[in-house]
Structure 1
Amino acid sequence: MKKTHWAFLLFAASCGGGSNAPQAESPQAAPAEARTTTGDEVAPPPEVADLAGAAEAPPEPAIPADTVPLASRMAPRHLAIPETRRGHTERFVFDGFHRGWFARTPAGQQALLTPIYGDGKVFVGGGFGSHQVFAYDWRTGEREWTASAPDGGPSAAILEDDKILFNTESCTLFAVDAGTGRQRWSRWLGDPLMSQPAAANGLVFSGHIIDGQSPGGLTAGTTGWGTGDGRRYGFTALNLSNGAPRWSRPVDGDVMNAPILDGDDVFFTTMRGTVYRMDQRSGHVHWHRRLHATSAPWIEGDEVHVTVRLRENGGVREKAIILARDGGGTEHELDAVDAAFVSGPPDPGVQQGWAYEGSRATVVAGRMYQTIGNEVHCRDADTHELLWRRRYTEDPRARPASPPAIAGSQLVFGTRDGVLFGLDIDTGMTAWAYDVGEPIASQPTIGHGWVYASTTRGGVVGLEVSDVSFDGWHMWGGNAQHNGRVMATEPPAEDDERPTEGTLALGGAARDGEVAGFPLRGTRVSANVSGFVARVSVEQTFHNPYERPVEAVYLFPLPDDAAVDAMELRAGNRVVRAQIRRREQARQEYAEARDRGVLASLLEQERPNLFRQSVANIRPGDEIRVTLSYTQALPYEAGSYRFVYPMVAGPRYDGGDGEGGGGASAPRQVVLAPGGQRPDRVEVSIDADFGVDVGEPTSPTHEIGVERDGRRVHVALQEGARPDRDLDVRFPVAGEAPAVSVLGSPPEGEARGHFSLAIHPRLSVADDEVMPREVVFVVDTSSSMNGRPIELARAAMLRALGGLRPTDTFRVLSFSDTTSALSEQALPATEENVARGRRFVSDMQALGATEMVRGLRAALDPEGEDGRMRVVLLMTDGFIGNETEIFREVDQRLGHSRLFAFGVGSAVNRYLLTRLTEIGRGDLQVVTLDESPDDAADAFHERIARPFLTDIAIDWGDLDVADAYPRRVPDLYADRPLVVHARYGHGGEGDVTIRGRIAGRPFEQTVRVSLPSDGDTRPELESVWARTRIRDLMTAMALQPSDALQEEVTQLGLAHHLLTQWTAFLAIDEGYRAEGEAQTVQQPSEMPAGITAPPPEPRPSPVRRARASSATRSTFGSDLVDSFGGGGGGYGRGSGGSSGAVFGAPRQAERLPAAEASPAPDTASTRGLRRRRSTNCYELARRPDGTIDQAMLEDCLRRQRAGGAEKTGGAWRGAPKRGVPGERRLVGDRRWRI
């Protein structure tokens, strides 16, 4: 399997000298003119007035702190971490079922800084005395690689645009590959360095000392800055892609912690206590202010939050102040607290400045959180009212706590006592506390249910404290701009559960959405390929561990063009073969059999690529085998036949009229809970004979084994493969594909024969015949794209922009809850405009619902320029449920445009994208997680640059052919075959002529075709023909619903024994009976690989309105409204979403009055939370052998229905007595009472 390689950027810290740490009372020097000698010439900034001191403010009423230290209120649980040697990792389990790991770096007793989480890894430097950087697996802690730098002192890291940046003592910016740790490039900055960099908008920012090799021409002795230690300091911006300097400016000291990026500005505090605001692009100094500041700033809208040092009555205190963003004046001062640890500067050496972390505030969802002095504070961000304050130690002399990290509803920080605390952000009460056993001085990080922290003794700890939805703080400061949480996904509005390759979930009457495991013991997929048609059987084996019978619901995805024509169910020694029925009739008969207590099974099609199997009255201890059979014509693309087997279906957002599935309700899905069981094996085997020679099969998604016997090829999935992505196997044809391929099944008696025909036309066109183009890029930036998919989309977009012709025009749009655009009109593909497009793409973040209709309207509605062919490229995972609405919109608005689709991810909605490109007269391309987005973008440009055949008609000549489908033959692109399925009356040989137009000229090609008169029949060809005809009818119904068409589809399903939207398979075995009432549950399933998992239900928060965008972007429609803290996000719309569309991402927001609180509606999302909540009962009742303790289960469910346990002090009363007394399970980062 191909590996994706990221690049790491290593920044350098002190190469040999000391550092200037914060001085207590130094005079302020005036700024001198800055010079730059880099490629981007920028005029020197004007003189800026220095604003000294802080305005006086009346004392603030103080809320007394909770004087009981947190560690006394709820005693931290000691983690039984095994003794860990240097350079090794030890794993452990805590609280009964949660996983943890502890790694000791090779350098040993070194203070480590904040780890970084990303791409399934945890990255951390080895300490100030180390020369190494390490990558660990995020769940096991196993070291994956080690990178060595010339000198020591790697700082905390950031991740941006597949690059990781950090400082070391070598004073040089290094780039190393994240997959291998190999160095890519380097850039000297200055000797020494202390702070972290920050990155955004294609730039990297860092402060540094000035020496003769520093960028920007800022040489020592020429800048005019005096710092009292004889050193000079600069602040530099570099290109993120290659480290080339863009501009440099003189400053009065090294940067404290890191620069902070917000909008078009960069803010930072120097070690001399001065706060700066500069322009990111030019380096223009808007203002700077000497304040004796002790923290990096936090930017929230028009406010700049910092802490400052005060001397009062011979003592030292620290307080937070709020500055105006525009001018730097003081707007508000908060109450001061004792803080002896800021009485003077750190030791005047690089190491103290390198490790310094101030009392920086964090503002989230309208509240400001801060660890300051020996307390943690929570304030209203608008009124600055103190809402709560908690004391976590009695001794404020040494800085007792790290700055907080915030995710979901929890605030997480570490202490010098070695305790990790998780506090409820609404109340400040302790949710959990764990004693790591070693001091923690640096901010923790939070990623997908895990908290990661480093210790001052060379340790890195990873703790699984919640499920994967607990996410959002991946590095120091939250993200690469150091000013907020990582944009995480939200739960879908409707379908909040996902089917995996076969989740036999327990269903029935929903009792608070109960969730449990029905362990999938194995999946076996067997495919036999003859010619280009595959016959596939899927057998999945489950076991019922319960003490009562169950009714099970089996959800599984299949290819959207699969003709499902058989199913059988084996329960114990019983075999049940299904018969086809009208769907409503089958449902009624199934319900009657279920009520009688007999074994019954019902197989339904929910969507063209999603199916549901219900099995009633499965007895305890029985083993269940479900075998389904389907036929599929394999697609041919880029010289290869492709076998794609979907193993997981992504979550879907239905923002339309609810008709996406053709009328049936979508099945519910739940996220896999912590400790949830995984299938222990997945087996896939493919035996193929394509009738032509093929090369070595490959798979970009999985490891495969290959055996050959002449033309026959056997492919097997390697053991240990995870079913969290679609299996994609490619069989390259040796040489050119044959001009024509025919598979036939001869007539029998009065019945007609069936055949499948593939023709490869030879298309060519002169370069001067290619029309000028308007290329419209439309990128899905909804929450389901978060993680690897949006990274791939951004990378492919950057490459695609670079592939535009000088004669092209282009537009770039993105959509989620709203639609954003680079410009209102198409822009010429000049170098300057393409650079604007690249910046727009680099700013894209995945957040919000998937309102695809609005994005496509914005792309298709404007009138195009005469003489230009409009090509729309849609980049998406397709995780929507309102497919029908999308099809209608495109059909009505397409005009002369052509719509291409670029599927991004591990389990894209191929049904949606295939139909869209058929209606849009375009083509589909899918890029998997491990494929190169550059290659995919190049293939798109090659596709639209090459000729295509339109207005296709087929003349069958003397052959007795009828009922050929598809009726409307789609436009044909180079290297793609024309595939037709038809019936015929008698065999024979004849000429078939394909006619059409290419670049406006007539095209004609004749091929010789032979249809068999006798011989072996191939029933699968009848299934493929009938499925293709049904597909034609369903496309027509999507555009114009019709009762007559629905009945025709139903009759086709009944006649050809096919599953459709209105037919179902039913099996009843009257000889198999179960005693007792069946219990009902639901089983969680996995997220598709690469997607950042959804966080918990959003906490109500005030709605914010976006400020005006920058001058380079314009706004149309209503104002963008978003609900911070989770609204407007996710696979479905969250609270506060707007129907308006906005050109450009919103800037910081101003506050609007909060709506009056009202009871939460009983939505699908809240029902999904209740289903996840009760997972605990089933997990607590599970015995070590996997069976369920029925008494414990029923007792837990009874307590849950009765209102749950009661919280008292730091413990819980009424919780099931298993594991640690008072144990609380965290689901979705919330503390559920059980």
Structure 2
Amino acid sequence: MRDCCGLLTLKNEPVPLKGITVQVKVQGFVADVCSTLSYENSESSPVEAVFVFPMEEDSSVYDFHAEIGGVKIQAEIREKQEARDTYDDALSSGQQAFLLEESDESRDVFRLSVGSLPAGQKASVCLSYVTELAVEADGALRYCLPAVLNPRYTPAGSESLTAPVSGASGGPVPYSLSFSAHLASPSGVAQVKSNCDLTPLEYLGGDKTQAQVSLSPGHKFDQDVELLVYYSHPHQPTAILEGGLASATPGSLMGDPLVMLSLYPEFPAAASTPQPSCGEFIFLVDRSGSMDCPMSSMESGPMRIESARDTLLLLLKSLPLGCFFNIYGFGSHFEAFFPESVAYTQQTMDDALGKVKGMGADFGGTEILEPLKDIYSKACRPGHPRQLFVFTDGEVGNTKDVISEVKKHAGTHRCFTFGIGEGASTALIKGMARAGSGHPEFITGQDRMQPKVMQSLRFALQPAVNNIVLDWDVPAGLEVVPVSETPKVLFRGHRSILYAQLKGKFDESALGRASLQYSLGDEPHKTEISFKLQPDKHTGLTTHRLAARTLIRSLEEGGSVEGEGGDKVKERVVKISTEARVISTHTAFVAVNKDLNQAVQGPLIHRNIRARMMYCAMPQVAMFCDDQNDLMHMDSGFNAMSYDTAPEPEVKDPVLTLISLQRADGSWELNESLVSVFEKTEQEAIGKMPAEVSDRAVWATVLALLWLHGFRADLKEEWEFLAMKALSWVKAQAGASLKSCLEAGNSLLGSKVEPQTLSL
């Protein structure tokens, strides 16, 4: 397969897309983004260019315009079929036109059509959108500019969204990216990190509340650009009041003021302690061909399936005794490790680990819907709430069907999702987690999957929160109309963003108050914030656009309006979308150059431009990470290929080695495999064991705990749960000999772990 990408001429020459400029304004927890795509038609005939590209699924696209020959053409938002007809009519009459539409099936894929670009002509297309920023486990706000659009597996009989085009692959892109970001937060900007080279962070004032940063010059847009923004006090509740649009109808969503709340419920430490022995944990793991691709296209590193296997090892060791579990692998077909979920014991854990080691990316395409239906067909266990963990690179074509299936069963489980590798569908990963009242995570580049998965396990093990109520206290004469649904589930330290419309007249000097009330067991709790009823003059219409997108998404996923069917939903969505100028599944932006005095002459040549496609490279073979039609499903041939090059020796992670040796009850056996992790011999370990210790497993378990705390404290978020199990076991077994074990263990290992570090 030829290593080229993007728009190809009839002579296989690239490309009208010359460059992309992105300007990001981060205000608090929201990013306002303006992207400009520059084209040039170097052919002798007019061209129609079609650019398919990814975008974060909760982005709210609110503006689209083009410029040709110094003339600005402003797009209008219309019902989608009407917009398509307008575009086609313009092209057939020789006019220049542009069409921007969201995919019917997956809201994170967009299609931009540039029509009748004359020979030798340059054009620029600008689109603007706003998006909420995800909060990482370490408190960072994550903005991602996707570059990779993976070909998505589409079930038989359906139309592919991202089928590979001839000549498009994972090679170098022929256009560059210019990227700059302006950052603002009242609490102060602490630092900024990225997976790409940045210029030094430049503060715009002594209080460090505003700063700017850019990508280093010459950056090629050949990978996702991730920006991690750290604020000085990220978890403080905030409220932003935004005035309505003066030209909009009073009482409408755009005409009234809106408030955006960012709330961080904090549970008491005792209440957030993981429950010891309940829960049914089901792990649904993608085994499609694309999981045999690297985690990142830019670096050597583990394959996605390898990272998934290591993570399953950690999860299985971290589960509490007394729970139930099962593991599913899925591709073109699916297999479960056990017919039904089994009790977590040493035997079942060993059986599962043996099967995990044999898991490969050999199941063909990505059919996630059928295994989901099989899981939901099995009755839940009383007293053991079901927690579903889904691991996939997200290359799925029937996204809405999958999300709908999760939502249908949201009352019986929580769904935690993990998008693996660049290009994972944000619509799928976020949509499933939202529908299942869980939490989404994305693992790309050099990210270790384990800490993000353990963060979600922490959420899953928290006690259930109930009686969740959002109350408003506002002056008389003012009515609060919620735009967002009240959360159905809360996690400790997890942010909730909520929107509400304010109807009526009010004094801008007055105060409003919002409180989120909930119960943990029999204990009531409350998070509240007061705010001035004075609109923020710096937000523009950001809050209104995000609120409109939230309402549109709720309607599209909910399926009915006041008991009416799909036509009524579409009518309401189109109305909100056109009034707010926010794109939806049922609308599109269209622009026609009506100032052109004469028709574009010559036959129109159609060109496809795509975001870079991921591909897998191995000696003597290169192929797309495409599950379409089981492209990589070559069970016997592909996995049996042999090469003249010798395989590189496997470098074992000592932490994973230690974890793999732990027993289900939390203890370790004293043997050569264990002590080799400590770089000691078995004889050295036996020689230092205190005389009063009769059980060698007690000594081995103390050594393991000391080594983790003394030498791998930086990875504590990964091994914390299995260490809790180990500590509980050793306390019950060691008795009076525990103190001498700690002293002797520190002496043997050369560590200085204090008893209080182990909560002793």
Q: Which of the five TM-score ranges fits, normalised by the shorter chain?
A: 0.7 to 0.9
Give the Cα–Cα distance (whole angstroms) in 2 for the partners of residues 735 and 674 of structure 1: 43
Give the Cα–Cα distance (whole angstroms) in 2 for the partners of residues 900 and 753 of structure 1: 34
Deviation per CA, 1:1117-1165, whole angstroms, max 9, x where unpaired? xxxxxxxxx9xx951344999xxxxxxx99999xxxxxxxxxxxxxxxx
For 1:832-843, what aligned pairs fall within 5 Å after superposition?
832-843=347-358
Deviation per CA, 1:887-933, whole angstroms, max 9, x where unpaired? 22223344421111011111211111111111111111111131112
Q: Tell whether the 8 Å contact from 1:875 to 1:901 is kept in structure 2 after alignment.
A: yes
Give the Cα–Cα distance (whole angstroms) in 2 for the partners of residues 636 and 1003 of structure 1: 23
**2:171 equivalent to 1:651:** no
Q: Tell whether the 8 Å contact from 2:20 to 2:38 is kept in structure 1 after alignment.
A: yes
SS in structure 2 of the partner of residue 525 of structure 1? strand
Please identify, of 619-628 and 760-769, the stretch whose mean Cα deviation from structure 2 is larger: 760-769
**2:502 equivalent to 1:984:** yes
**Residues 567 and 794 of structure 1: CA distance in aligned 2, closer, same or farther (over 3 Å):** same
Equivalent residue for 1:762? Answer: 266
Equivalent residue for 1:615? Answer: 114
Deviation at 1:578, TM superposition (A): 0.8
SS in structure 2 of the partner of residue 973 of structure 1? coil
Query: Partner amino acid for 2:201?
Result: V
SS in structure 1 of the partner of residue 394 of structure 2? coil
Q: Tell whether the 8 Å contact from 1:522 to 1:680 is kept in structure 2 after alignment.
A: yes
Deviation at 1:886, TM superposition (A): 0.9
SS in structure 1 of the partner of residue 214 of structure 2? strand
Equivalent residue for 1:965? Answer: 483
Deviation at 1:1091, TM superposition (A): 8.4
Q: Tell whether the 8 Å contact from 1:797 to 1:937 is kept in structure 2 after alignment.
A: no
SS in structure 2 of the partner of residue 697 of structure 1? strand
Give the Cα–Cα distance (whole angstroms) in 1 for the partners of residues 481 and 570 of structure 2: 19
Equivalent residue for 2:379? Answer: 863
**2:309 equivalent to 1:794:** yes
**Structure 1 length-normalised TM:** 0.46
Equivalent residue for 1:555? Answer: 52
- Pick from 178, 186, 193 the counterpart of residue 683 of structure 1: 178
Q: Which has the higher strand share?
A: 1
SS in structure 2 of the partner of residue 966 of structure 1? coil
**Residues 768 and 975 of structure 1: CA distance in aligned 2, closer, same or farther (over 3 Å):** closer
Any gaps of 5 or more consecutive residues in structure 2? 295-303, 640-760
Query: Partner amino acid for 1:686?
Result: A
Query: Partner amino acid for 2:627?
Result: Y
Deviation at 1:693, TM superposition (A): 2.2
Query: Partner amino acid for 2:532?
Result: S
Give the Cα–Cα distance (whole angstroms) in 1 for the partners of residues 170 and 415 of structure 2: 43
Deviation at 1:1035, TM superposition (A): 1.1
Equivalent residue for 1:806? Answer: 321
Query: Partner amino acid for 1:844?
Result: M
**Residues 911 and 676 of structure 1: CA distance in aligned 2, closer, same or farther (over 3 Å):** closer
**Residues 998 and 770 of structure 1: CA distance in aligned 2, closer, same or farther (over 3 Å):** farther
Equivalent residue for 1:827? Answer: 342
For 1:442-521, what aligned pairs fall within 5 Å after superposition?
466-467=1-2, 517-521=14-18
Deviation at 1:549, TM superposition (A): 0.7
For 1:1141-1156, what aligned pairs fall within 5 Å after superposition?
none
SS in structure 1 of the partner of residue 606 of structure 2? coil
Q: Which has the higher contact order (CA 8 A, sep 6+)?
A: 2
Give the Cα–Cα distance (whole angstroms) in 1 for the partners of residues 456 and 426 of structure 2: 17
**Residues 514 and 994 of structure 1: CA distance in aligned 2, closer, same or farther (over 3 Å):** farther
- Pick from 706, 717, 729 the counterpart of residue 227 of structure 2: 729
Q: Tell whether the 8 Å contact from 2:483 to 2:501 is kept in structure 1 after alignment.
A: no
Deviation at 1:597, TM superposition (A): 1.2
Query: Partner amino acid for 2:179?
Result: V
Equivalent residue for 1:477? Answer: none
**Structure 2 length-normalised TM:** 0.73
- Pick from 85, 92, 95 the counterpart of residue 588 of structure 1: 85
Q: Tell whether the 8 Å contact from 2:393 to 2:421 is kept in structure 1 after alignment.
A: yes
Deviation per CA, 1:563-615, whole angstroms, max 9, x where unpaired? 11111112233321111222222222221211121211122112421211212
SS in structure 2 of the partner of residue 698 of structure 1? strand
| Structure exhibiting the larger radius of gyration computed from Cα positions | 1
Please identify, of 732-741 and 528-537, the stretch whose mean Cα deviation from structure 2 is larger: 732-741
Equivalent residue for 2:568? Answer: 1044
**Residues 533 and 673 of structure 1: CA distance in aligned 2, closer, same or farther (over 3 Å):** closer
Equivalent residue for 1:631? Answer: 130
Give the Cα–Cα distance (whole angstroms) in 1 for the partners of residues 620 and 439 of structure 2: 31
Equivalent residue for 1:1033? Answer: 555
Deviation per CA, 1:676-725, whole angstroms, max 9, x where unpaired? 77234212111010221232211246656422232212222234544343
**2:633 equivalent to 1:1132:** no
SS in structure 2 of the partner of residue 1081 of structure 1? strand
Query: Partner amino acid for 1:711?
Result: T
Give the Cα–Cα distance (whole angstroms) in 2 for the partners of residues 1049 and 815 of structure 1: 35
SS in structure 1 of the partner of residue 58 of structure 2? coil
Deviation at 1:739, TM superposition (A): 2.8
**Residues 1046 and 795 of structure 1: CA distance in aligned 2, closer, same or farther (over 3 Å):** same
Equivalent residue for 2:237? Answer: 739
Give the Cα–Cα distance (whole angstroms) in 2 for the partners of residues 1063 and 919 of structure 1: 23
**2:579 equivalent to 1:1055:** yes
Equivalent residue for 1:1087? Answer: 613
Q: Tell whether the 8 Å contact from 2:152 to 2:160 is kept in structure 1 after alignment.
A: no
Query: Partner amino acid for 2:430?
Result: T
Give the Cα–Cα distance (whole angstroms) in 2 for the partners of residues 843 and 907 of structure 1: 26
Give the Cα–Cα distance (whole angstroms) in 2 for the partners of residues 631 and 1045 of structure 1: 24
Any gaps of 5 or more consecutive residues in structure 1? 1-465, 470-499, 507-512, 659-663, 1098-1125, 1138-1144, 1150-1234
Deviation at 1:622, TM superposition (A): 1.4
Q: Tell whether the 8 Å contact from 2:479 to 2:502 is kept in structure 1 after alignment.
A: yes
Deviation per CA, 1:1032-1063, whole angstroms, max 9, x where unpaired? 11111399961100110011111111212222
Deviation at 1:1095, TM superposition (A): 7.9
Give the Cα–Cα distance (whole angstroms) in 2 for the partners of residues 1146 and 530 of structure 1: 53
Equivalent residue for 1:974? Answer: 492
Give the Cα–Cα distance (whole angstroms) in 2 for the partners of residues 504 and 962 of structure 1: 50
Q: Tell whether the 8 Å contact from 1:771 to 1:869 is kept in structure 2 after alignment.
A: no
**2:298 equivalent to 1:782:** no
Equivalent residue for 2:686? Answer: none
SS in structure 1 of the partner of residue 350 of structure 2? helix
**Residues 1136 and 546 of structure 1: CA distance in aligned 2, closer, same or farther (over 3 Å):** closer
Give the Cα–Cα distance (whole angstroms) in 2 for the partners of residues 832 and 574 of structure 1: 72
Q: Tell whether the 8 Å contact from 1:807 to 1:828 is kept in structure 2 after alignment.
A: yes
Query: Partner amino acid for 1:981?
Result: Y
- Pick from 699, 714, 722 the counterpart of residue 194 of structure 2: 699
Over the matched positions of the two proteins, sequence identity in percent amounts to 24
Give the Cα–Cα distance (whole angstroms) in 1 for the partners of residues 322 and 125 of structure 2: 57
Equivalent residue for 1:715? Answer: 213
Deviation per CA, 1:291-331, whole angstroms, max 9, x where unpaired? xxxxxxxxxxxxxxxxxxxxxxxxxxxxxxxxxxxxxxxxx
**Residues 1147 and 572 of structure 1: CA distance in aligned 2, closer, same or farther (over 3 Å):** closer
**Residues 747 and 1083 of structure 1: CA distance in aligned 2, closer, same or farther (over 3 Å):** closer
Deviation at 1:753, TM superposition (A): 1.1
Deviation at 1:468, TM superposition (A): 6.5
Q: Tell whether the 8 Å contact from 1:526 to 1:686 is kept in structure 2 after alignment.
A: yes
Q: Tell whether the 8 Å contact from 1:897 to 1:920 is kept in structure 2 after alignment.
A: yes
Q: Tell whether the 8 Å contact from 1:753 to 1:984 is kept in structure 2 after alignment.
A: yes
**2:578 equivalent to 1:1078:** no
**Residues 1069 and 504 of structure 1: CA distance in aligned 2, closer, same or farther (over 3 Å):** farther
Aligned positions, number:
605
SS in structure 2 of the partner of residue 576 of structure 1? strand
SS in structure 1 of the partner of residue 456 of structure 2? helix
Query: Partner amino acid for 1:761?
Result: P
Q: Tell whether the 8 Å contact from 1:784 to 1:1130 is kept in structure 2 after alignment.
A: yes
Give the Cα–Cα distance (whole angstroms) in 1 for the partners of residues 375 and 620 of structure 2: 29
